[in-house]
Amino acid sequence: MLERIQQLAESIQEEVVAHRRWLHAHPELSFEEFETAAYIAQQLEKIGITPQPMATTGIVAQIRGMNPEKKTIALRADIDALPICQANQVPYKSTRKGLMHACGHDAHTACLLGAARILYQLRQGWEGTIKLIFQPGEERIPGGATMMIQEGVLQDPAPLYIIGQHVMPQLPVGKVGFRAGMYMASVDDLHIRVVGKGGHAAMPERLVDPVYMAAQLVVHLQQVVSRLAPPRIPTVLSIGRFIAEGATNIIPDEVILQGTFRTMDEDWRQQAHQKIVKLSTELINAMGGKCEIEIRKGYPCLYNDPPFTQRLQKVAAEYLGPENVVELDQWMAAEDFAYYAQQVPACFYRLGTGNVSKGIVSGVHTPTFDIDESALAIGSGLMSWLAINALDGEK
């Protein structure tokens, strides 16, 4: 079966590349992926698989093997793009100004379409049901995963396991990465309004300067990481936006701060929210101002089920060779795949897509992001191999 999957993956490489290039040229933002969903549905129907629309622009489908009631597992790909203006000049460059597949969701979708073709063609050679999940809105809180789950994507039939694949430009093409246990961080958005009393910059004694107060708060908030967080728990607090709309001689009445809080422990996450609010309000109040703070809760920590992930890691080594399967470090980025992992034992792994010799080195969420497209055959074939082995495993 392994060699057959590898052969099929190579034989459909051009088809999978064509999928990726069409998707890359036609990016759509979160929950606006109407053409993307139509394209996915059309391609599934060409294979012989019936698509089922759900969650605005999501698609779910099933491939039934021999004895389909025996066991179900799920494979997930995200489909949305980002509001980034593409800078690299490639034949498949985005045709939509200001929109770009800069996080590899086009590759994820193409690989899952490729895996669908392989698994459908081999459906007489494995037992169970494989559920295909093409999910919208990964890049935008509350995340399309929550909507898919609410609409029953993990029911009728309920999968025993779920697998997700994500590109990794830091990992050379030909390699994949796994990490059992806690892998990715939670994410929460910080929105802070510091209110004072503005006026002429030459008379600061008559003002309550919100710029000064906000600057102190940016520094003060780092206590959450350096002094309040348990040292064993990875924690990040970053302020990425500081809006003070005064002038060289004008102090504004208010300043807006926006940032992110991330960690890998849900209990500490809740405690930290309280500490951020208390620290911010008390500091600004002590300086004579007023602080309004909103913490918009985002995705939870992503936890890879250890026994399942370790088993798939060994299976991946069979497919690619043990030298091409690496252990991943924890990563402070966030993923709404974490919601699935809260419901079903999950494995979220990385597909190497970088190639220094070709100049493919840009990170995700950058205007020059690209992938080595030879990774697409690996992604399609490996996902198929993992799915079949997940069905064959114990439970």
In the annotation, is 138 catalytic?
yes
Three-state secondary-structure class, residue 152: coil
In the annotation, is 106 catalytic?
no
Alpha helices in the chain (DSSP H): 2-11, 13-25, 34-47, 105-121, 144-150, 210-220, 223, 266-286, 306-320, 337-343, 375-392
Single-letter residue type at 319:
Y
- Nearest residue to 382 (alpha-carbon basis) of 162, 76, 111, 133: 111
d(CA 62, CA 49): 7
Three-state secondary-structure class, residue 15: helix
Maximum pairwise Cα distance, the chain:
82
Strands 254-263 and 235-243, bridge-based pairing: antiparallel
d(CA 77, CA 138): 10
The one catalytic residue in 80, 209, 265, 305 is 80
- Bond before 300 cis per omega within 30 degrees: no
- Nearest residue to 15 (alpha-carbon basis) of 131, 111, 137: 111
The one catalytic residue in 138, 265, 305, 336 is 138
253 CB-contact burial (10 Å; exposed 0-12 / middle 13-18 / buried 19+): middle
Three-state secondary-structure class, residue 75: strand
Residues involved in catalysis: 80, 138
